[in-house]
Chain A
Amino acid sequence: MTKAVTTLSPTRMELIRLRRRIELAQKGHDLLEEKMDALMMEFLGLARRIRVLRKEAFAELLEAHQKLLKCMAWMGTLETVEASLESLREAEIEIASRSIMGVRVPTVQAVKISRKLVERGYSLHTSSALLDEAASRFEEVLSKLCELAELEEAIRRIGWELERTRRRVNALEHILIPRLKSAVAFISFRLDEMERDDFVRLKRIKAMLEAREWRK
């Protein structure tokens, strides 16, 4: 038996207290299990969405790269790079947070990335139309990637929380609750034993008293 049990005082008070603790632990265990189920649903849903979005975004990225490559071949690598540095690089994403079962995850709210030709900021008369096309492709990909980043960030955080919750459920189920139960068994055994002790003692005393009575 564990050490915590052997140092327990076998009283009725202690028994009641232990029973209450078991009840509480059980309730906590059930709640955590429910939380785990909910997180798991969320997790698998996200995994599915990521799978789809990844395929889409990565294919688009590859296409955008091909456009850029064409542009680099036409305009020259250096000129393309220069134009990209010249352009207005002020894309902004609005990020807030929401909570899924107590897990804080980021949500990308407004993405304003796609721009009109004249808003891009590089000089139009020195650049080719291929550059415009590449830029618009990359803008599209970038807004997709923002969405993907949000999902990946969320799934990562939920995954961590799931692991933590699972550890706590296991600790309750396999360590705390069995330990408390064995303590209850120990105390009720001791209490019963004491009761039997008392019973036998009373019997014995009664027998002794009766024997004395007869001798008179």
Chain B
Amino acid sequence: MKYKIAVVGDLETVTGFALAGATYLHVHRDRDETLQKLRAFLSDPLVGLILITSRVREELSEELEPLLKMKAFLPMVLVIPDRKGYYPAGIDELEKLVRRTAGVEVVLG
């Protein structure tokens, strides 16, 4: 099956990935608006990959947590650094998951 790509983030990130061919775009300005868009992307059967910048992920972490946990098999969601390379450790739950399951600290960054 073929799927499209969605991007949510700051203007530069969205512009860059639009140039690369991402189909669904959303520039984050307002919490509620972004959340609504993200919900739409998550339930869209055409979307296969959603890129979210770390800032958006951080800002909406409370609302996003359950959304990402309950999400279906597709789309895949990936958190990427924003245009300044801002990517704090533990922005996603991956490190927590590794620590819990492997019992050791594994540095992914």
Contacts and interface: CB of A to CB of B under 8 A. Distances in A.
A61 B81 contact: yes
A43 interface: yes
Contacts of A142: 5, 17, 20-22
Interface string B45-79: 00011010000000000000000000001101110
B34 interface: no
Interface string A157-170: 00110110010000
A141 B34 CA distance: 24
A80 B5 CA distance: 20
A84 B18 contact: yes
- B interface, over-half SS: mixed
A149 B21 contact: no
A91 B81 contact: no
A84 B19 contact: yes
A147 to B, nearest CB: 10
Interface in A30-71: 40, 43-44, 47, 50-51, 54-55, 58, 61-62, 64-65, 68-69
12 contacts: A54-B109, A61-B85, A68-B15, A80-B15, A84-B15, A91-B5, A93-B48, A95-B3, A139-B20, A145-B78, A149-B49, A163-B101
